[in-house]
């Protein structure tokens, strides 16, 4: 336990000396499948709309190793992901996602099914995730390493808490794994012919009528909860007109040729930050 706690007090400034002294040992452990990641340190950060978000920060050495795994896997996996997914992807941005959403509205889809996944990063099913990884990775050492990162546990006030589900939000590998999980949702939406935009766990589906929106809301919620084993937050999800819902801090105007405008809440947050 002392080694785990000390590991979290090491910073990037210590990294060159640590790697110079320990890299041969770490490399052997990785190649032989014996490397054991340390528990992540839980940190709470404020959400823009209120409340807090839990982050799991790996030790500096584990972050380096996760980054190395990411740099090998992302070029292989990313080209296979849906073109409607914009979050945490090279060459993609939130502004591109907002522009795509605006285009769907302009093309005659004045209703949006706004889906909110409840604590997505905390509820990813390990077995389903590792099955998806195993379909793309044949090296068993890499598979074992990724599972160890997922199950390394969390340090809360110096006490170790076991990890049973979720992919810690805060490590370099987490965004890629989350996109892999939700790629199954993207493919289902494409198979059904829906117009949609997804940015991480924010997914908006654009439809022509309220009746169609109600059908889509019900059927996609069933798919997410039964097939993906995730939970839709019914209180934050809604069927509405796009100009009534904020998406990534923006919304279209209620016009024949809708323009993009900044959401009211985003303006308030900006003013608060300027005052601070």
pLDDT tens for each residue of 84-127: 999 999 999 999 999 999 999 999 999 999 999 988 887 888 88
Residues in a beta bridge with 266: none
The whole-number average pLDDT for the span 206-233 is 96
* Mean pLDDT across the chain: 90
What 8-state DSSP symbol labels residue 137? -
Residue 1 has what pLDDT?
40
CA gap 200, 216 in Å, rounded: 20
- Which residues lie closer than 8 Å to 160 by C-beta, 6 or more apart? 1, 4, 39, 153, 154
Does the pLDDT value for residue 41 go beyond 90? no
> What tokens were used for 73?
């896997």
Does the pLDDT value for residue 134 go beyond 90? yes
Give the length of the chain: 276
What 8-state DSSP symbol labels residue 91? T
The whole-number average pLDDT for the span 190-211 is 97
State the pLDDT confidence band at 259, using cuts at 50, 70 and 90.
very high
Region at 175 (left for phi over 0; alpha for psi -120 to 50; beta for the rest):
alpha
Task: Please say whether the beta carbons of 220 and 205 come within 8 A.
Answer: yes
At CA 54, angle to CA 75 and CA 220, rounded to 5?
65
Residue 37 has what pLDDT?
94
Q: Of 114, 87, 85, 86, which Cα lies nearest the Cα of 183?
A: 85
Does the pLDDT value for residue 19 go beyond 90? no
> What tokens were used for 268?
């308030």
Instruction: Give the end-to-end CA distance of the chain in Å, rounded to a whole number.
Output: 40
HSE-CB of 221 using CA atoms within 13 angstroms? 19
């Amino acid at each position: 336990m002392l080694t785990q706690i000390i590991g979290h007090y090491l910073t990037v400034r210590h990294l060159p000396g640590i790697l110079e002294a320990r890299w041969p040992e770490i490399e052997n452990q990785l190649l032989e499948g014996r490397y054991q990641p340390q528990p992540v340190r839980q940190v709470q950060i404020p959400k823009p709309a209120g409340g807090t978000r839990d982050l799991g920060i790996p030790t500096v050495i584990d972050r380096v190793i996760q980054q190395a795994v990411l740099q090998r896997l992302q070029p292989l996996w990313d080209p296979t992901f849906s073109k409607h997914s914009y979050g945490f992807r090279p060459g993609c941005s939130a502004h591109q996602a907002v522009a795509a959403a605006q285009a769907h509205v302009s093309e005659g889809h004045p209703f949006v099914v706004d889906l909110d996944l409840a604590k997505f990063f905390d509820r990813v099913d390990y077995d389903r995730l590792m099955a998806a990884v195993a379909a793309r990775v044949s090296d068993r050492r890499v598979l074992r390493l990724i599972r160890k990162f997922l199950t390394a546990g969390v340090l809360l006030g110096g006490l170790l808490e076991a990890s049973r589900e979720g992919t810690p939000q805060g490590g370099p590998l987490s965004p890629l794994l989350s996109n892999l999980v939700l790629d199954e949702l993207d493919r289902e939406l494409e198979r059904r012919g829906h117009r949609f935009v997804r940015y991480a766990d924010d997914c908006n589906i654009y439809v022509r009528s309220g009746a169609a929106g109600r059908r889509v809301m019900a059927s996609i919620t069933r798919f997410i909860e039964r097939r993906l084993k995730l939970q839709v937050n019914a209180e934050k999800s809604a069927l509405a007109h796009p100009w009534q819902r904020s998406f990534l801090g923006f919304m279209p105007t209620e016009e024949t040729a809708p323009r993009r405008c900044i959401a009211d809440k985003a303006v308030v947050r900006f003013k608060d930050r300027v005052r601070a």
